[in-house]
Amino acid sequence: MEIKKGIISIVFACVIIFFCWFYFVKTLSLTDITGMPSNPVAGLFASFVDFDTGLTRYDIHNLSNKNDYWQRRIREVMAIQNPQQRNIENEKLLAEMLEDPSIKKIAKKIMGFGTDAILSILQATKNSH
């Protein structure tokens, strides 16, 4: 009887460890987040530019929960008519976004692509949940 309890405990512990690794540790590639395109040519191109984002499923969950807030803030900034004021507010928004640990992770990887890439990732996380 104790052997059965021991085996069950070990199996249960392995399942918990796997879940924690899968959700909190394993990082996702860009195509894991956005999905592979249905077009074969686009899929080939996507496989060339695919990279590890550094984001976990937990990070994606957090981003999708905050997505409405970020989308609203982005719309507010883009609605500003004065280009100088819009640039100032855009810098404030970017600084605010970079305070979020999940956004900070992805920004380090794709900052060379610009803020449009970050906004695309946010949109993809909204669509994946």
Q: Tens of pLDDT along 3-28?
A: 899 999 999 999 999 999 999 999 98
pLDDT digits (tens, 9 = 90+) for 86-105: 889 988 988 898 898 888 88
Residues 6+ positions from 106 with CB-CB distance below 8 Å? 53, 54, 55, 118, 121
pTM of this prediction? 0.68
Q: Please report the beta strands in 1-129, taking only residues with DSSP state E, as ranges in sequence order.
A: 27-29, 52-56
Which residues does 60 contact at the CB level (< 8 Å), separation at least 6?
Answer: 28, 33, 102, 125, 128, 129
From CA 55, how far away is CA 14, in angstroms rounded? Answer: 23
